[in-house]
Amino acid sequence: MNSIKFLYAAYIATWLIHGLYIGSLVRRYGRLRQQMKDLGRGK
């Protein structure tokens, strides 16, 4: 009966890892866009 917890844990862990990675991609993309804007302004 308890084994169902392990099943849920595995599925949650999978999407947590994917979510964290996609989050890191979005953050990096945002940072690059900002850098581009700063450079584009010509300072």
Partner 1 sequence: MKRAFPILAVLTALLLVYAFYQALWVAPTDALQGEVYRIIYYHVPSAWTAFLLFFINFIASVQYLANARPSTARAARWIVIAIGIIGFVAPFIPQVKQQLPTGMYPSSVATTFLIITGLYFVIGKYFVDQDLDVLAVTTAEVGVVFCSIVLVTGPIWARPVWGIWWAPGDIRLTSTLVLWLIYVSYLVLRRFSDSAQTQKLAAVLAVFGALDVPLVYFSIWFFRTQHPQPVIGGGGSMDPRMLHVLLISWMAFLCFAFLVCWSRYRLENLRRKVEEAEALESLLEPAGLAGPSSAVKTPLSRGSK
User: With binding defined as CB under 8 A, does residue 13 bind partner 1?
Assistant: yes
SS (H, E, C) 12-43: HHHHHHHHHHHHHHHHHHHHHHHHHHHHHCCC
Question: Is 23 an interacting residue with respect to partner 1 (CB under 8 A)?
Answer: no
Smallest gap from residue 31 Cβ to partner 1 (A): 9
The counts of H helices and E strands in the chain are: 1, 0
Residue 43 per-residue DSSP state: -
Is residue 18 a contact residue for partner 1 (CB under 8 A)?
A: yes
The residues of the shown chain that bind partner 1, judged by CB under 8 A, are 2-4, 6-7, 9-11, 13-14, 17-18, 21-22, 25, 28-29, 32, 35-36, 39-43
